[in-house]
């Protein structure tokens, strides 16, 4: 007779990803963080629900360094960059850093391959969800990491979607 407690593996906890800068890590391009109390509370709710929460900074994982020159998408959004139809370039000198952004996005996903939910920093060329910096303005489209997560069916939101809004801009 089989004993299910021994033959069935324990279900793995669901995994959420969060942009590390929103938890206070000083990993932004300018060396600053965007730590927010409401994101800390969001993380606490995920943990209380039994989820694993993984903080990632795709640009640091891409070895772009901190601080690093500001960059933006050129010619399209993050999804277009994955299709080879757009690039990520440094604002100052237009140097192409697409490969580093994609490497960092892949490494971030590799840290949480079963991710189903993500809380990402709004408008970042990596983490922006639905809106990001493209060709000198904030336009419709995901950042490079967010586009990768969207392709995987991950449910995404940004700190701007939090209802209590406390801690904004800290």
Footprint of ligand SF4 (CB under 6 A):
19-21, 27-28, 57-59, 121, 124, 126-127
HSE of 102, CA atoms in CB hemisphere, 13 A = 17
Which residue, 21 or 134, is less far from ligand SF4 as judged by CB? 21
Q: 56 is written with which tokens?
A: 């990632």
3-state helix, strand, coil split of the chain in percent (to 5) is: 30, 20, 45
The least distance separating ligand SF4 from the CB of residue 3, rounded to whole angstroms, comes to 44
Residue 79's nearest CA partner among 164, 15, 148, 133 is 148
CA 137/CA 22 separation, integer angstroms:
22
Phi, psi (degrees; rounded to nearest 5) at 139: -130, 170
The least distance separating ligand SF4 from the CB of residue 67, rounded to whole angstroms, comes to 10
Which residue, 121 or 133, is less far from ligand SF4 as judged by CB? 121
Cβ neighbours around 124 below 10 Å, total: 28
In this structure, the strands spanning 137-140 and 87-90 are: unpaired
Which residue, 86 or 88, is less far from ligand SF4 as judged by CB? 88
Which residue, 22 or 86, is less far from ligand SF4 as judged by CB? 22
The least distance separating ligand SF4 from the CB of residue 156, rounded to whole angstroms, comes to 12
The least distance separating ligand SF4 from the CB of residue 78, rounded to whole angstroms, comes to 12
Which residue, 57 or 115, is less far from ligand SF4 as judged by CB? 57
The least distance separating ligand SF4 from the CB of residue 39, rounded to whole angstroms, comes to 11
CB 85 within 8 A of CB 115: no
């Amino acid at each position: 007779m089989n004993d299910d407690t021994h033959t069935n593996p324990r279900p793995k906890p669901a995994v959420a990803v969060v942009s590390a800068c929103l938890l206070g890590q000083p990993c932004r391009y300018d060396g600053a963080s965007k730590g927010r109390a409401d994101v800390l509370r969001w993380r606490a709710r995920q943990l209380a629900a039994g989820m694993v929460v993984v903080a990632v900074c795709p640009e640091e994982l891409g070895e772009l360094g901190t601080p690093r020159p500001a960059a933006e998408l050129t010619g399209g959004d993050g999804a277009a960059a994955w299709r080879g139809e757009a690039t990520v370039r440094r604002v100052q000198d237009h140097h192409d850093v697409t490969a580093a952004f994609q490497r960092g996005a892949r490494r971030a996903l590799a840290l949480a391959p079963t991710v189903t939910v993500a809380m990402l920093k709004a408008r970042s060329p990596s983490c922006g969800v639905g809106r990001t910096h493209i060709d000198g303005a904030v336009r419709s489209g995901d950042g490079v990491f967010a586009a990768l997560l969207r392709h995987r069916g991950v449910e995404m939101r940004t700190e701007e979607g939090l209802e209590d809004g406390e801690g904004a801009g800290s």
